Amino acid sequence: MVTDPFGMVGLLTFIRAAETDANLVQLALGSDLTTLGLNLNSPENLYGTFQSPWADGPCRPQDIDFHVPSEYLTNLHIKDKLAPIKLSRYGEDLLFYLYYTHGGEVLQLAAAAELYNRDWRYHKDERVWITRGPGMEPSVKTNSYEMGMYYYFDCHRWCKVPKEFHLDYDKLEERPHLPASFHHN
Amino acid sequence: PLSKDHAYQLAMMEAAAHHLPHPSDSERLRHYLPRNPCPTPTYHCPAM
Amino acid sequence: FDDPPGLQDKTEYLLREWVNMYHSPAGGRDSTKAFSAFVNQMHQQGILKTDDLITRFFRICTELCVKLCYHALSEQAHTATLTRSKCFHTLDAFVRLIALLVKHSGDAANSVTKINLLNKVLGIVAGVLLHDHEKRGSDFQQLPYHRIFIMLLLELNAPEHVLETINFQVMTAFCNAFHVLRPSKAPGFVYSWLELISHRIFIARMLATMPQQKQGWPMYAQLLIDIFKFVTPFLRNADLSKHVSLLYKGTLRLLLVLLHDFPEFLCDYHYGFCDVIPPNCIQMRNLILSAFPRNMRLPDPFTPNLKVDMLSDITQPPRILTNFAAMIQPVTFKKELDSYIKTRSPVTFLSELRGHLQVSHEPGQRYNVPLMNALVLYVGSQAIAYIHSKGSTPSMNTITHSSHMDIFQNLAVDLDTEGRYLFLNAVANQLRYPNSHTHYFSCTLLYLFAEANSEAIQEQITRVLLERLIVNRPHPWGLLITFIELIRNPSFKFWGHDFVHCAPEIEKLFDTVARSCM
């Protein structure tokens, strides 16, 4: 057999080395390209929301610069005249919108805190917001968990949906804390 | 072994990697709702 | 040579004036009011008097903006967000001034003045960047330049009639500037550079919305070749550093977007890309070779008794927009090659072939890979044309006993293992979607396997195919059908070779692929 790197032994040596050193693998065995944050099965073109070669997710709606008449843009000089953002005045729908479109930002935490104030609770495993429906008392209630019918917010259908849950209290997020330097305006 | 020229290029690239462009570098300044990244718990949803 | 006395201060004063006017409420919609007032000031200060003064004005403004950014970046106290808004406060104003001057220079119908001014400004910014890059070394910061280029790109791609009419020239100007700033010239700018050419507006304009859509394709292909050429030396050693890995992954993301949205673009330019991607970047090369026209339906390669030569597309020649024939140098060699193809003379041609391809004795760099790639594709294309001229189509019977196959068999026999590996890679790089090249080169590989006079040739053919198959997806359709035929067709006696059973991992790999076939 060919004994230098250009035959089967060369390839085999590489395969064995790759088992120990993932860094070697990246080129020759490559990586799972579906894990780079691009929806390769999307029926839409990807380039319109491609955020950056370094980002592992597409642009969010508010990141994309659309050419709107400049009157639509909040001019630097009237910004201070506009009412400051006050989440306690907003409806749930807007709070959920702000939560789901500002991932990784202070506004997401602020929306989470306001939802908490309105008796919504975030389930850290199920990764959904849950609240008790009117008149829906838990069928079982202990020190560490409760069970029953609750509403959860389905962000794909964008509505509240009733569903049975077994709620371990330690799986529910405590009141979200905002960073001290939070100036959403 | 890398040539001298390629070693220089590698050094410059590695220095640049310490201040990667931020997505907001490619967006107009938004005065009213600027990006305000902050470390949020991993269980919270990333941008939908 | 030095600026006229006082120009530096005058420019600094004017820039400061403009930034204030840009941000003032009286600036008006899109700063048009501020602009009219400011242009008068520029006239009064004599800045617009000569081309030389305008050039110096823009250079000094760029240097002032850059200096301000370095100062803001050096103030550690600020958060990144605050630093950026300080920098962008001036940079965005400067960009708006450039955009307005470009839009309003010369009369509306005169696009030449506008484009000349844009090329001048982009050239000045590029010049300041290269000078800064060289002066500061690893302290170089891309931020100010990134911002100037991207905001100017956004400003000049606004949906305005005056801009739409000159968009092709605008985008050509940006491509020229980005080629001047290609990573091998400004490696400290590489991450911004890749971000700029990946920007959704840039891709949209270059690949999707240009009036004659494909006008932008050659320019964009050149920019991709720039990044492939840059990363090649750092990928040759398989052990990637963190930063190279970041750039490699970023390039893969861009290629995935292109594969998904513009597969025809990757199809048309695959040859030029594979010519510069190093042989060990197997997944990246597979990604490019996997592209196929969106209107084409690929039959499942694992279909039992798939009759490849019955596929309607299999006789169609693929579009290859690289002039690979011109890459066969020197001209004397090309003449001898053409003569041998036509008349099988000079008889010394085959024995001298290796000498033309070998360039050094350095292991790993012994051969002229671009010449090898061009030779293989050129001879194969000539062979297909010859077969068609006989009223036939490529098949295991029609490709044999020809001067073309003499050349391929000579390369298979006469080259050393490194040369043969590169030769077989050049052949395997043509195994793509159903077209006449895929078919011809698939038959050629199988024929070379069947007619090999040494098991080493068969082993290396297997190696070249297997290393492309064991990598993560995507896999080119032509690669799959060739390998399936090799292991399925008993006439190749594939399973009887020692190298198939040389190690448990290898045997397991073949079994896995064989099971998927069966």
Task: For C166-199, write each residue's pLDDT tens digit.
Answer: 999 999 999 999 999 999 999 999 999 999 999 9
More confident call, A35 vs A77: A35
Phi, psi of A164 (to 5 degrees): -70, 135
Query: Does A44 have pLDDT greater than 60?
Result: yes
Best mutation target, A25, A33, A51, A185, to test chain C (most C CBs within 10 A): A33
Task: For C18-29, write each residue's pLDDT tens digit.
Answer: 999 999 887 777
Residues C443 and C390: beta-carbon distance below 8 Å: no
Residue C319 C-alpha, separation from nearest chain A C-alpha, in angstroms: 23
Residue A172 C-alpha, separation from nearest chain B C-alpha, in angstroms: 11
Considering only CB atoms, B36 lies closest to which of C81, C146, C199, namely C81
CA dihedral over C500, C503, C508, C509, signed as positive or negative: negative
CA dihedral over C38, C43, C46, C50, signed as positive or negative: positive
CA distance C376 to C414: 15
Query: Does A184 have pLDDT greater than 50?
Result: no
Phi, psi of C367 (to 5 degrees): -120, 155
Q: What is the average pLDDT across A80-92?
A: 90
Q: What is the average pLDDT across C475-482?
A: 96
pLDDT at C517: 67
Q: What is the average pLDDT across A14-35?
A: 81
Within 8 A of C281 by CB-CB distance, chain A residues are: 27
Chain-centre distance for alpha carbon C257: 13
Residue A108 C-alpha, separation from nearest chain B C-alpha, in angstroms: 8
Task: Record the tokens describing residue A44, joined without a space.
Answer: 């839409």
Within 8 A of A35 by CB-CB distance, chain C residues are: none
Query: Does C456 have pLDDT greater than 80?
Result: yes
Amino acid, res. C117: L
Considering only CB atoms, C88 lies closest to which of B2, B11, B29, namely B29
pLDDT at A15: 82
For chain B, the residue count is 48
Amino acid, res. A129: W
Residues C148 and C95: beta-carbon distance below 8 Å: yes
CA distance C238 to A13: 13
Considering only CB atoms, B23 lies closest to which of A52, A101, A184, namely A52
CA distance C271 to C288: 9
Mean pLDDT across chain A, nearest whole number?
A: 89
Task: Record the tokens describing residue C43, joined without a space.
Answer: 């006239």
Query: Does B47 have pLDDT greater than 80?
Result: no
Using the beta-carbon criterion (under 8 Å), do B44 and A122 form an inter-chain contact? yes
> pLDDT class for A183, splitting at 50, 70, 90?
low
Nearest residue in chain C measured CA to CA from B27: C151
Using the beta-carbon criterion (under 8 Å), do C142 and B21 form an inter-chain contact? yes
Q: What is the average pLDDT across C389-415?
A: 94
Task: For B11-39, write each residue's pLDDT tens digit.
Answer: 999 999 999 998 889 998 887 788 888 88
Nearest residue in chain C measured CA to CA from A25: C238
Using the beta-carbon criterion (under 8 Å), do C233 and B24 form an inter-chain contact? no
User: Which residue shows structure tokens 């371990």?
Assistant: A168
> pLDDT class for C384, splitting at 50, 70, 90?
very high
Within 8 A of A107 by CB-CB distance, chain B residues are: 33, 36
Using the beta-carbon criterion (under 8 Å), do C417 and A2 form an inter-chain contact? yes
The CA-based dihedral angle spanning residues C393, C398, C403, C405, taken in that order and rounded to the nearest 10 degrees: 100
Task: For C26-40, write each residue's pLDDT tens digit.
Answer: 777 778 889 999 999
Query: Does C413 have pLDDT greater than 90?
Result: yes
DSSP string, C466-513: HHHHSSSSP--HHHHHHHHHHHH-GGG-GGGSGGGGSSHHHHHHHHHH
Within 8 A of A101 by CB-CB distance, chain B residues are: 47-48
- Nearest to residue C49, comparing CAs of C96, C103, C4, C13? C4
Report the neighbours of B using a cutoff of 3 or more CB pairs below 8 angstroms: A, C
CA distance A109 to A154: 19
pLDDT at A169: 96
Within 8 A of A152 by CB-CB distance, chain B residues are: none
More confident call, B47 vs C355: C355
Cβ atoms within 10 Å, residue A3: 9
CA distance B38 to C299: 49
Residue A16 C-alpha, separation from nearest chain C C-alpha, in angstroms: 9
CA distance C476 to C486: 16
Residues C474, C477, C478: CA angle, nearest 5 degrees: 130
> pLDDT class for A65, splitting at 50, 70, 90?
confident
Q: What is the average pLDDT across C367-374?
A: 96
Mean pLDDT across chain C, nearest whole number?
A: 93
Q: What is the average pLDDT across C114-122?
A: 97
Task: For C300-355, write each residue's pLDDT tens digit.
Answer: 998 888 888 889 899 999 999 889 999 999 999 999 999 999 999 998 999 999 99
Residues C136 and C187: beta-carbon distance below 8 Å: no
Considering only CB atoms, C29 lies closest to which of A23, A49, A70, namely A70
Residues C253 and C200: beta-carbon distance below 8 Å: no
Nearest residue in chain B measured CA to CA from C95: B28
H helix intervals, C181-215: 190-198, 200-203
> pLDDT class for B48, splitting at 50, 70, 90?
low
pLDDT at A152: 96
Nearest residue in chain B measured CA to CA from A129: B44
Using the beta-carbon criterion (under 8 Å), do B13 and C188 form an inter-chain contact? yes
CA distance C296 to C111: 41
> pLDDT class for A70, splitting at 50, 70, 90?
confident
Q: What is the CA radius of gyration of chain C?
A: 28
Using the beta-carbon criterion (under 8 Å), do A76 and B31 form an inter-chain contact? yes
Nearest residue in chain C measured CA to CA from B25: C147
Please report the number of interchain residue pairs, chain A to chain C, with beta-carbon separation below 8 angstroms.
153
Within 8 A of B28 by CB-CB distance, chain A residues are: 65
Query: Does C213 have pLDDT greater than 70?
Result: no
Considering only CB atoms, C204 lies closest to which of A10, A30, A47, namely A47
More confident call, C237 vs A144: A144
- Which stretches of A40-114 are assigned E, i.e. beta strand? none
pLDDT at A185: 44
Using the beta-carbon criterion (under 8 Å), do C235 and A27 form an inter-chain contact? yes
Report the neighbours of C using a cutoff of 3 or more CB pairs below 8 angstroms: A, B
**Coil, helix or strand for A159?**
strand
Using the beta-carbon criterion (under 8 Å), do B17 and C243 form an inter-chain contact? yes
Query: Does C362 have pLDDT greater than 90?
Result: no
Q: What is the average pLDDT across C253-280?
A: 95
Residue C315 C-alpha, separation from nearest chain A C-alpha, in angstroms: 30
Q: Which residues of B sit within 8 Å Cβ distance of A?
A: 20-21, 23, 26-28, 30-33, 35-38, 40-41, 43-48
pLDDT at B34: 80
Alpha-carbon distances of B8 from C9, C134, C182, C188, C227, rounded to whole Å = 36, 11, 15, 10, 16
